[in-house]
């Protein structure tokens, strides 16, 4: 199994062009994982409770314009 140290060493050894391609891919991958986490939190996690409270406050007229 590959360790983080091995991955770090391999990334450091990449030529500039390959590093740029890897970096671009990793940025997109990280964004996808973040989006998936937000979606999970909206459905079953801490964001769900906050969203329901905000919706209730809005519907009850307890919100003001920014």
Rg (CA), the chain: 20
Q: Is residue 13 part of a domain?
A: yes
Q: Whole-structure pTM over 0.85, yes or no?
A: no
Give the integer Cα–Cα distance in Å for 2 and 25. 19
Q: Is residue 66 part of a domain?
A: no
Q: Is residue 65 part of a domain?
A: no
pLDDT in tens, 4-45: 999 999 999 999 999 999 999 999 999 999 999 888 888 887
Q: Is residue 64 part of a domain?
A: no
User: What is the count of structural domains for the chain?
Assistant: 1
pLDDT on residue 40: 84
């Amino acid at each position: 199994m590959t360790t983080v140290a091995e991955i770090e060493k391999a990334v450091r050894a990449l030529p500039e062009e390959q590093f740029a391609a890897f970096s671009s891919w990793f940025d997109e991958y990280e964004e996808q994982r973040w989006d998936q986490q937000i979606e999970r939190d909206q459905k079953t996690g801490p964001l769900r409770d906050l969203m329901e409270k905000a919706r209730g406050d809005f519907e009850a007229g307890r919100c003001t314009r920014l």
